[in-house]
Amino acid sequence: MADTRIKGAEALMRSLIEEKVDTIFGYPGGSIITVFDAMYSFRDAITQILTRHEQGAIHAAQGFARVTGEPGVVIVTSGPGATNVVTGLADAMLDSTPLVVISGQVSSPLLGSDAFQETDVVGITLPVTKWCYQVRKAADIPWAVARAFYIAREGRPGPVMLDITKDAQNELMEFSYQKCTFIRSYDPYPEIKPSTIEMAAELINQAERPFALVGQGVILGEAEDEVVEFLTKADIPAGTTLLGLPALSKSFRLNKGMLGMHGNIGPNRKTAECDVLIAIGMRFDDRVTGDLKTYAKQAKVIHFDIDSSEIGKNVNVDVPILADVKTSIPAVTALLKPAKHTEWVDSFAVHEQEEMERVILPEIKPVSGPITMGEAIHKVSEASARNAVLVTDVGQNQMMACRYFKFESKRSLVTSGGLGTMGFGLPAAIGAAFGAPERQICLFTGDGGIQMTIQELGTIMEYSVPVKIVILNNKFLGMVRQWQELFYRERYSCTPMKNPDFPKLAAAYGIPGRKVTEHEALDGAIREMFETEGPYLLEVEVEENGMVYPMIPAGTNVDNIILGD
């Protein structure tokens, strides 16, 4: 009688197929080689992307997850392979990005013996994952994979880590798969309490100056349309967090811009003037609130969130609504009276005008001097497709891109928010391109950030990934330099950078590119970039001493906003 059993490694691949996985990012090694051998048999069903570093693999998986809404999948080996993904796990945990990361591990009898490339993966990753689990038996692989995808996807998304020993990968088993739909200890979708819905509606109906803070939870909950209906019915102006930017189109009448340290003047100042503050799928991060002792003390606070740990964590809440925003927002909307807050909505105009004159126009249309970051970003945005996805690295390039790039489509921003991971941009753009091949992927990065993961140009070369890369080169670690100028008496310690010739470096990888130093050449270079099929690297030499304004210094309030010269 034929043996119908299969190896644990093949069971892993079949389990991933059951979860509709079609793309895997990773890097092979000794403790995971059996899985990569099994992957070879599934190369027609699953696109397998070999990145040039494990950190590149996990950031690519994040980019994939952010544009698709589905878990990004990473497979790496033990030891350094596993530890190299920890930064990405921490990043994904803070930004609620669904990932399933699988690492190989030494054989069970060797655990705890300091065997070659053994590390305590569960111990290391426990603080930066929703769930981590070590699989020591082949029979447990389907169960662990089903549970991993359920936890990663459902409720507030996040990363999951599975550590699979080498003997479990090789052991034979009878394969069967059952998707996970329930875990007794995990309640991903809390039941709405009607009393809180009624309290929220009553507060909003009585409000004279309501203001909404829209976060990434709206995007994760796929509730963009429901939030627009809510805001429109009650005529509530809104500001967005950094990660929440694409939740509202920039052209939406009630979208008043970005909140936070480098956000727009109006949303930040009006937070201190509103009488009802409505937080929707956001966590009151310190970059949004500044000094908590003075933050929105005049307002009644309503907080919509799916995660109970976020409600009341930083800001006292008058009406907590613990539920999926996709259902809780419509429930409140149904009880709202149609309203007009014309005077309140119009009061943002004076701040918009001030910012336009003092900050925006000088940045996007400089009358003299070097090219500015804002100018380059504005021109790329105007030339990009309406469905473009903005990917950024971290630093001045990130803040400027998020300020001056247009957001017209859903899931159109991929950036590192909570952790602020330099080097995130290039591999994340690769993952976004695989996740949304029908969309234009525009990456803005700095001369510092790109060099942290620049080896991923090799991944772009191997798979002809059509990413448009714009390096805003100011020859500095720009954001740190800005802080040194403002708060450290211009002591530029370890921030000036001597850089390579980036277009020549790209050319070594077969990627066309060009460097621009003059305003007059910028439009033509951008046109060439978008007309070139496949990847392209455009280096723009920008002013060395450029600043991101407005700026509210860390730990202070809106009264301390800096608008520049």
Catalogue the active-site residues. 54, 116-117, 166, 479
502 alpha-carbon distance from chain centroid:
26
CA 165/CA 31 separation, integer angstroms: 8
CA 21/CA 73 separation, integer angstroms: 8
Burial tier of 421 (Cβ tally within 10 Å: 0-12, 13-18, 19+): buried
CA 258/CA 256 separation, integer angstroms: 7
* Residues forming a β-bridge with 319: 302
Burial tier of 466 (Cβ tally within 10 Å: 0-12, 13-18, 19+): middle
Measuring CA to CA, how many Å separate 149 from each of 2, 145, 322, 457? 32, 6, 23, 30
* Residues forming a β-bridge with 288: none
CA 346/CA 349 separation, integer angstroms: 6
| Phi (first) and psi of residue 100, to 5 degrees | -125, 110
**Which amino acid type is present at position 216?**
Q
Residue 270: closest CA among 202, 341, 219, 327: 341
CA 54/CA 75 separation, integer angstroms: 9
CA 287/CA 302 separation, integer angstroms: 20
**Which amino acid type is present at position 208?**
E
